[in-house]
Amino acid sequence: MSDDAVAAAALLTPVVSPADTSAVAAARAVWQAIDGLGEPSVGAFDDDFWHCACVVKEAGASQFDALRALLAAGFRPPGPLFTLAGAGRGFHGQRGRNWAAVPGNLHLCAALCPADLPAEHVLALTMLPAVAAVDALTGVGGGAAPAGIKWVNDIVLDGRKVGGVLTAAQTLDGRVGWAVLGIGLNVAVAPDVPPTPFVPAVGCLASYRSDLTLRAVQAALLRALAHRCRELEREGPAPLLAAYRAASVIIGREVSVWPEEADGLDAFGRPRARGIVQAINGDLSLTLAGEPEPVRSGRLVIEA
């Protein structure tokens, strides 16, 4: 379902035969929740993992927050659903930090209701969108754009942040009831973001490769998400953890970890932890040389 004919034509195949009414109803519910404009048309993505899609020119509200609220209120799509916005308002990263939703960049969210995913695998859903983003960029760029992951959820190229991911999930009776995955990638435009120790520089994909277009990256990302979701349900979290570690840009580097609420270092006398990253553990905590306990949370600075 889309209110953006150009974006829909680039990504979705028009549905000529009568569409799955439950899929259309689910997409319409999402379209309304994120304040899509105009009268939507129905389309389908060419991977049978995705049951329905919602593509909007501009979202009046955060797609991530809208999907999370819908699912928490009992909404259940008939299968995996994704929503894409060309731009929008109220978008954010971790801890509500502002994310500039600029036309030409990618703003994607997915809603999943796994049939039988154990609750202990919920942490894998934190890794999944970051790993899928690296998969997609490596695939589209033919390996010439070696994207990496900066702990916990930043996507980087050549030391510049080009994207970020979010995950929210609910578990019930030992199973994952639902999950929302959010991914933002700077494809055509590098937003004007003041540098901080945590994000020294931002970049965009188009500055690395001309073939890293919005259409190509969107399609590659949706296929990568589908592949990693199927893999998680089939094989558990081990392949995701291995891929996350392989894509890490911090193993073997000296880092410092500061409180989650830090936006700069002036208000804090010293970091929570500092040392060379020896390992990323199964719970995504960090083993740092010289630190007696693993580091489980915080904002990370890669030291010069």
Same domain, 52 and 186: yes
Segment holding 275, helix H or strand E = strand 273-280
Question: Domain of 48: which CATH number?
Answer: 3.30.930.10
Q: Is 116 helix (H, G, I), strand (E, B) or coil?
A: coil
Same domain, 231 and 265: no
Average pLDDT for 267-272:
79
Same domain, 160 and 292: no
pLDDT by residue (tens digit) across 213-253? 999 999 999 999 999 999 999 999 999 999 999 999 999 99
Same domain, 196 and 260: no
Residue type, 288: L
pLDDT bin (cut points 50, 70, 90) of residue 289 is: very high
pLDDT by residue (tens digit) across 182-212? 999 999 999 998 899 999 999 999 998 888 8
Q: Specify the pLDDT at position 23.
A: 76
Same domain, 265 and 166: no
Same domain, 135 and 172: yes
Final residue before a domain boundary, out of 201, 216, 247: 247
Final residue before a domain boundary, out of 202, 232, 247: 247
Same domain, 38 and 83: yes
Same domain, 277 and 242: no
- Provide the sign of the torsion angle of the four alpha carbons 238, 240, 243, 248, taken in this order: negative
Same domain, 23 and 87: yes
What is the secondary structure of 226-264 as a DSSP string?
A: HHHHHHHHHH-SHHHHHHHHHHBS-TTSEEEEE-TT-SS
For the chain, the domain total comes to: 2
Same domain, 243 and 272: no
Range(s) of the domain holding residue 182: 5-247
Same domain, 91 and 173: yes
Q: Specify the pLDDT at position 99.
A: 79
Same domain, 289 and 192: no
